[in-house]
Structure 1
Amino acid sequence: MMTAAACGTVSALTLGLPASTAIPAAKGTLPKQMFMAKAPVSAKLKQRYANEVESITMLSLMRAANTGLADGKRFREILVIGLRVSGTDVPVEVVDHIASQRASGIVFAVVREVEREGARHEECALAVRRNVPVRPGHTPVTKVYAGDWKPAGEAQLELAGSTLDEAWDVLCAQAILDSADGSDLDARIARREQLTTLKAQADKLERDHSRAKNPAQRNEIYAKLHKIRKQLETLES
């Protein structure tokens, strides 16, 4: 029986992906140099690879032949790559650099160890690099999105849809929004980001309002806060 490639304890199988997509352990290791040799790399990014990334492992390769899904217009394959990191954060610049080198959709399973209650625990966060919607004719923009850290055994990816394009949206929804619903994804991501921005602005205005001494200034701040609260009510309804 084949042993699946793993990043720490995380593999295609622990993520819940079909065994047919799992990469054999003997073929999973991807040397860091492989990614740094393909394109110019800044000294800062080289340092990130050296200091923040312990290992890179191919965990899964999804294609029409091993998933039963039809080829998409955008994607003919989706990869899952494991990044074992020494720090506490998702290495966004490394994710962006690796993902930029392939036309495939890539889901990153980022694995770290944390100290909790006197013991070491393994956690996993899912990350993707995805196009941000822009107006027709404008230059495409990409962004790295990362989900929340979870115990490694709880990180899951459900493969769904009828094409690899649809599967990519479902996988992105799971990584970014912790939802297996891939419909209307760009609008939902934009709404979540707007909510995050408005909540941060509201928190700042509340602090400013409590510190302000001048009545006119307090009234001005409160008017701005009231407007943002109304926007939040609309978005959250």
Structure 2
Amino acid sequence: MNDSTAEPEAASSAPEASSTTPSALSACGSLTAVDLGLPHSVAVPAAKGRLPKAMFAGHDPAALSNTVRQQLTQQVESIHLLGIISAKSVHAEPSAHVPEVLVLRLQLAQDTQHFPDAVIELIATQRKGGILFVCTREVTEPQPHAPEPGTYVAYAVRRGFSARAGHMQTFERFHSPWKPVSEPQQLRVVGDSVAQIWDNLCAQIMLHKTTTENLSEDLKLFRQKAALRRDLAKLTADHARAKTIEKRNELFARKAQIQRALDQLEQMEHQSE
């Protein structure tokens, strides 16, 4: 990753929990790192919270793609550093490849319906450690993922995976469902090292499970199960529409085969827990 871009000054050291009262925590609106389920020790003082968007645009903003510029200027209203998960702030073993995890809030423009993935990509590539993006948006009219007006919050992370050892990584972005800001998905800091904590936070967002021993393998299993469930739903619908006994029997047999495969994957998952 490219680490040459200027980094937020607030990330240079984690704040001490004893020196920061709840009212003095970095927040955007009323949302703080503690509201997300994170320990008070990772929260950043309010004075260090707001980060100028220009910090992430680099020395030559004109070199940014049109998509990045459009999202940075029109979709992202403000950026706040809510917290820093480091060996010091959570009393964990340090990790060379994940020295810290920033909890970065992106306040999106009102009624924005899409994640600013280009901006997430831009910021994530500027850091060696992990970044947990906390995206918030104000909704004034009902939307598919926000049926009632109000403020909503969702998480985003960027992770890289290799098809096999020694191969180049392919990076992907993952998003959690939107939830009312008053009921955010509660995150848990679990792990002996900062790298383990980062993997487990990603598992909570990507896989809806608290911990993972192997994020890449668990993601593969998660996707295999999702694909089988989609196939099963399609075959169930086709079976209901089938006109002949022969076709219904054929579809029933295929459904049973897919169900067995799904059961086997779920059994494998339970055995690994």
Normalised by the length of structure 1, the TM-score is: 0.84
Paired residue for 1:180? 210
Q: Which residue identity is paired with 1:120?
A: P
**Which aligned pairs between 1:16-165 and structure 2 lie closer than 5 A?**
16-37=37-58, 40-86=63-109, 87-115=112-140, 120-155=149-184, 156-165=186-195
Q: Of Structure 1 and Structure 2, which has the larger fraction of its residues in strand?
A: 1
Q: Would the alpha carbon gap of residues 236 and 68 (structure 1) be closer, same or farther in structure 2, given more than 3 Å must change?
A: closer
Deviates more, 1:139-148 or 1:192-201: 192-201
Structure 1, unaligned stretches of length 5 or more?
Answer: none
CA distance, structure 1, for counterparts of residue 161 and residue 81 of structure 2: 26
Q: Deviations over 1:126-181 (max 9, x none)?
A: 11111224202211111111112222233222222221111111211222233322
For the aligned residues, what is the CA RMSD?
A: 2.9
SS at match of 1:61: strand
Identity %: 35
Number of aligned residue pairs: give it: 237
Q: Does the 8 A contact of 1:147 with 1:177 survive in 2?
A: no
Q: Which moved more, 1:196-205 or 1:223-232?
A: 223-232
Q: Deviations over 1:6-46 (max 9, x none)?
A: 13322112123233322222221122222222684211221
Are the counterparts in 2 of residues 171 and 182 from structure 1 also a CA contact under 8 Å? no
CA distance in 2, matches of 1:83, 1:26: 17
1:49-104 per-residue CA deviation (whole Å, 9 max, x = no partner) reads 22321211111112222221121132111110001123133322322221111101
TM-score calculated relative to the size of structure 2: 0.74
Shift of 1:192: 1.4
> Of the candidates 217, 222, 240, which is equivalent to residue 192 of structure 1?
222
Distance 1:198 1:168 in 2: 28
Residue 198 of structure 1 and its aligned partner are, at CA, apart by 2.6
Taking structure 1 as reference, are residues 176 and 220 closer, same or farther at Cα in structure 2, changes over 3 Å only?
Answer: same
Task: Please give the secondary structure, in 1, of the residue aligned with 2:50.
Answer: coil
